[in-house]
Structure 1
């Protein structure tokens, strides 16, 4: 199959239409993504989604990117409604703010599939299915990884932890923080989370956040980051300051996190593939259009990865 691209001008932004050039596709699906250029996970997701569409003769997709801008994403959803796509996949920039636009799609008879990061519960009635990871479980598993390491070190009664969360208002960030905050006191009740600050999924910002933590706190035993990109930013700050012995735990095991684990500098994370994420979103949309019964929360598994078991996992490509 040959890839055909053409520019689609809209009120939201220019997008690419990926289709089978041999003939009319059976399904026309629109997707508006969160922020493709912000990190390697989202870049790989975008590439994998386009490849999955290209490999499926039955599908044509209008692929849009909100660039992290809520207003742009809302305009993109409204534009996809006007284009009369048969299904809309949304990777929300903000789980609350997009609800009115998702409601418009629902009222127009267009099924909405949310990918990767869910919208707020108030919008669930307007969504056909969510496809992605269970982010609360990821946060819980990260807490367990950290607690187990503290117990191995014998500091589970005195350890102090700082947390670098993701983008404020973003459901994944909220859920991973909740999973960690709720689970850590259950497994290590004497460990203290002394402060949480957002890193916005950005390595450089997270490094600055960690630099401020290091100045403020003489004792930091662990760092939990909402993804490995931010976690490695924090690690870089600690290395530059000469602060050793800190246990770094993240989520969404990026290649940089995997490499830092190989060096013995970064302890653990949660293994999640953007390739699986993208393929699952497209499959969910097709299954919905085929009339298949799906669970509302259509999760894929994301296991723990640490220095102890990392040989069981392939190095991430993102």
Structure 2
């Protein structure tokens, strides 16, 4: 099987695929951690629905549960099954590279979804399908800076950051985009400290509680997704310190959208898990059909704030 050397397939976790006709494409997907948040749960549902709607596709849907070793075992199982293509949502962008290389050597194209693998593995994937996470982080910094300018505190504001799971490419890239862009647009803003929230609302609330004890003056909080951002907001509200703090996240969850509508949460980056899932499946099908697929197959993720949120539908996740 011939396919472009620079493409990646993301694997997601799930139960099983749709029935197939005689000449169907069998696509396996190993997901990161379906139960950890509503984005991943919605992604899985949308992926299965899209596969079931296509009579030419049969899918094997697996969930690594956040466990790198389990995901590597998934990859080896899918290679043994001789599936036509593999989609992987990496639990760790570096640790999965040997397994991705095994699929490449077995002539099975791999599509990476949502969160890319580390650059040293790019030669073993057909395409990456998902958001541009560095751009998301940069846009979040711009939202934060614009708000500080409106408030007149752009020369004195202090910001803390809550990142996603350590070692996870999306977490690394969103943080990198934010940290690189913030000093460009607001050079006098002080990014005081960054700590991981592991994509978990309760963990992020605890991280924020510690920040509130440690720092008397916090003007802004950037969280790698809205689930963590709302956890930070909950901690600030419990401490009666939410007023005066600008909360900005990414991957606009319904809880973030609702907090924005209440006026508690300022902005985020709009990203659809349905678009994400459908794009991954479509990319895998296009690769198998011999179509010319870009290596970095991004979909757009625009800024959303209290000022323009009426132009966006409330997220379903």
TM range, smaller chain: over 0.9
* 4+ residue segments displaced more than 4 Å: none
**1:15–1:260 CA distance, 2 compared to 1 (3 A):** closer
Q: Match of 1:190?
A: 188
**In 2, distance between residues paired with 1:224 and 1:197?**
11
1:37 matches 2:15: no
**In 1, distance between residues paired with 2:65 and 2:22?**
30
**1:15–1:155 CA distance, 2 compared to 1 (3 A):** closer
Equivalent position to 2:116, from 115, 118, 140: 118
Q: Match of 2:198?
A: 200
**1:161–1:79 CA distance, 2 compared to 1 (3 A):** same
Q: Match of 2:74?
A: 76
- The answer as to whether partners of 1:167 and 1:201 remain within 8 angstroms in 2 is yes
- The answer as to whether partners of 2:14 and 2:44 remain within 8 angstroms in 1 is no
**1:245–1:102 CA distance, 2 compared to 1 (3 A):** same
Equivalent position to 1:179, from 177, 180, 186: 177
Distance apart, 1:15 and its partner CA: 5.9
**In 1, distance between residues paired with 2:19 and 2:192?**
54
TM-score, normalising length: structure 2:
0.95
Equivalent position to 1:106, from 97, 104, 107: 104
5+ residue gaps, structure 1: 1-13
Distance apart, 1:313 and its partner CA: 0.1
Equivalent position to 1:233, from 210, 231, 235: 231
RMSD, aligned CA: 0.9
Say how many residue pairs are matched. Answer: 304
Please give the secondary structure, in 2, of the residue aligned with 1:37: helix
5+ residue gaps, structure 2: 1-12
Q: Match of 1:129?
A: 127
Q: Match of 1:59?
A: 57
Q: Match of 1:289?
A: 288
Please give the secondary structure, in 1, of the residue aligned with 2:292: coil
Q: Match of 1:28?
A: 26
Distance apart, 1:18 and its partner CA: 1.3
**In 1, distance between residues paired with 2:18 and 2:151?**
55
Deviations 1:248-293 (A, max 9, x none): 0000000000000000000000000000000000000000000001
Deviations 1:183-222 (A, max 9, x none): 0000000000000000000000000000000000000000
TM-score, normalising length: structure 1:
0.95
**1:309–1:15 CA distance, 2 compared to 1 (3 A):** closer
